[in-house]
Chain A
Amino acid sequence: MTALLEVANVSKRFGGVVAVRELDLRVEEGEILGLIGPNGAGKSTVFNLINGVYPPDIGRVVFRGADITGAPPYRIARQGLARAHQIVQPLAGLTVLDNCTVGACFGRENLPLAAARETAREVAEIVGLRGQLDILAGQLTTGGKKRLELARALSARPHLLLLDEVLAGLNPTEIEQMIEIVRGIRRRGVSILIIEHVMRAIMSLSDRIVVLNLGAKLAEGAPREIAADPKVITAYLGEAEPADDAGANP
């Protein structure tokens, strides 16, 4: 069965540094795949390789059966692959509604303006931005901007959503809310590839987890297996120990 997204033997180096090394990754339809690893492991680079920010030096990226390796970002977005960035990039001079409308207009469904506005409204509702539609994106709080980032990506009605540390900078209540939102997104049929540092969140959200270290795949499996894996624990030595969160509620 073909995976929704297949990353095959992908490598990328920057000057003398190998950021990603011979990586294989599959995201199945309907699943939430977690991508974790210590800082500098290459996780964001993997995202950049997937959504076309730059091409891999070797290897292929195949999305829904089509080879998207090195394709420009807008073409990849049009095929139904959307991304919420770690460092949020709101279109600051546009309102929240307009931001999401851009996503809906130019995403997978390529909607005309009026229909896109409707989709944008619905999505803003899902993400909890309903009351802030007319606020300029640049004036939102950090939490608001993070939600907008997510809403915008979602407005494109993607098949696959790349979430890059959407929980960073949020307080515990906001984290809980965001986790619920992410679950809701999957229930709507969107597959998710998520990078996260908040261990209990990613452990509870993910169906499977891939661990990256120094650009290469260190381990892969169900959350519980990963949490108990001694290689993973060693890689994280000095950072939050996954073992502590292994018993967190699903």
Chain B
Amino acid sequence: MIAILASVLDGVLVGAVYGLAAMGLTLIWGVMNVINLAHGALTVFGMFALYFLASVLGLPPYSAVPIAIVAGFVCGVVLYWIAVHRIIGRPELMSLLATFAVNMVLIGVGTALWTTSPFNVPVTLPGFTWQGYTFTGTHIMAAVLAGVLAGLLYLFLHHTRVGKAIRAVAQNREAAELSGIPTKQILSMAFGLGVALAAVSGTLIATMFPFTMLSGEAYQLKSFVVTVLGGLGNPAGALLGGIALGLVEGLSTPFMPVSWIPILEFGLFVFCLMAFPRGIFALSKG
């Protein structure tokens, strides 16, 4: 029983990071109605950023966090101008294919550079033990940082000019444009922000678990499940959804082999889509 509780609590910690990742996805989706199918690959690049900075350059691991954010943002803006801005407003099919194409390129390049072998960045932090179960420091730190970043995101979206502009564009692009907001630039920044979130969550995940170039797919699926749970375009819902997913994982890890977890999540994903098209946490918003 305690084992399950410990697993669940650990799941909640990790789930906060899932939530952070999903926030990136749901932000882009909510603002410009584009589903970033390169999200998983970008998360993996965040993982490799940690590897590069910590294992190769020998920098303190958590310094990778702000670097991942900035680098992710820049990459996101660049990606926006290369691949995304021409397909805004076009049929959804096109944006799916475009981001999917980017995904293919990123994975192809990544695999060529780093193959599909596993990487691990050993990060040690003092954790704490309770009733014989250890909560690793890295998990706690990751959850805390995820929470902090989520909070910063909230402040950014609600209390800065750019943030408010992003929200305005998300609500009604035409009206925003009419009131003088440079929508294209704002969209590019929103995309950059979404990618930054994906990247930094990858970095945080890498402090906790080993990874390969192909890990992106599993995390992308998790992000999708969380987005569906939390409701499209709803960052707060994404965080809650992430924790919920972490909870589910924590509940199931003691009982099923690891390779079945993605199948469980996929099933959950399809189920939620059919039963709660607007997201579980969005129910109250109508």
Between A and B, 4 residue pairs with Cβ closer than 8 Å are: A14-B286, A15-B285, A15-B286, A16-B286
**A 1-31 contacts with B by CB, 8 A:** 14-16
B residues at A contact (CB < 8 Å): 285-286
- Select from chain A the residue with minimum beta-carbon distance to B285: A15
Residues from chain B with Cβ under 8 Å of A16 in the complex:
286
Query: Nearest Cβ in chain B — how far from A235, in angstroms?
Result: 25
Expressed in whole angstroms, the minimum distance between the Cβ of B172 and any Cβ of chain A is 14
Interface residue ranges, A against B (CB under 8 Å): 14-16
- What residues of chain B lie closer than 8 Å to A15, measured between beta carbons? 285-286
Complex CA distance for A188 and B242, rounded to whole angstroms? 59
When C-beta atoms are compared, the residue in chain B nearest to A92 turns out to be B91
A215–B116 alpha-carbon span in the complex (Å)? 60
Instruction: List residues of chain A with CB within 8 A of the CB of B286.
Output: 14-16
A20 to chain B, nearest CB (A): 15
Chain A residues near B285 (CB, 8 Å)? 15
Chain B residues in 8 Å Cβ range of A14: 286
Q: How far does the Cβ of A48 sit from chain B's closest Cβ, in whole Å?
A: 15
Complex Cα distance, B268 from A18, in Å, reads 34
* Closest B residue to A14 using CB positions: B286
> By DSSP majority rule, is chain A's interface helix, strand, loop, or mixed?
loop
Closest 4 CB pairs of A and B: A15-B286, A14-B286, A15-B285, A16-B286
Q: In the bound complex, how far is the Cα of B282 from the Cα of A15, in angstroms?
A: 11
A14 to B286, CA, bound (A): 6
Alpha-carbon gap, A14 to B284, bound state (A): 11
A234 to B227, CA, bound (A): 47
User: What's the minimum C-beta distance from B281 to chain A, rounded to whole angstroms?
Assistant: 15
A142 to B285, CA, bound (A): 36
Chain A's nearest CB lies how many Å from the CB of B269? 25
Q: Which residue of B lies closest to A16 (CB)?
A: B286
A16–B286 Cα distance when bound, in Å, is: 8
Complex Cα distance, B285 from A15, in Å, reads 6
Q: Which residue of B lies closest to A15 (CB)?
A: B286
A93 nearest CB neighbor, chain B only: B91
Closest CB in chain B relative to A36 CB, distance in Å: 25
* Least Cβ–Cβ distance between B284 and chain A, in angstroms: 9
CA distance A80 to B286 in the complex (A): 31
Q: CA A14 – CA B278 in complex, angstroms?
A: 14
Nearest-Cβ distance from residue A103 to partner chain B, whole angstroms: 21
Give the nearest-CB partner of B284 in chain A: A15
What separation, in Å, do the CA atoms of A14 and B226 have in the docked complex?
25
A15 to chain B, nearest CB (A): 4
Distance (whole angstroms) from the CB of A250 to the closest CB of chain B: 38
Expressed in whole angstroms, the minimum distance between the Cβ of B2 and any Cβ of chain A is 43
Chain A minimum-CB-distance residue to B286: A15
- Chain A nearest CB: distance from B274 CB in Å? 16
Q: Nearest residue in B to A17 (C-beta to C-beta)? A: B286
- Determine the distance from Cα of A14 to Cα of B285 in the docked complex, in whole angstroms: 9
Give the docked Cα–Cα distance between A23 and B285 (Å).
24
The chain B residue sitting closest to A13, CB to CB, is B286
Distance of B92 from chain A, by nearest CB (Å) = 15
Complex Cα–Cα for A16 and B285 (A): 9
In the docked arrangement, what's the CA distance between A15 and B286, Å? 5
CA distance A212 to B69 in the complex (A): 52
Tell me, in angstroms, the Cα distance from A125 to B286 when the chains sit together: 44
Q: How far is the CB of B12 from chain A (nearest CB, A)?
A: 30
CB distance from B94 to the nearest CB of A (A): 13
A150 CA to B285 CA, complexed, in Å? 35
Tell me the smallest distance from the CB of A11 to a CB of chain B, in Å. 14
Bound complex: CA of A203 vs CA of B60, how far in Å? 76
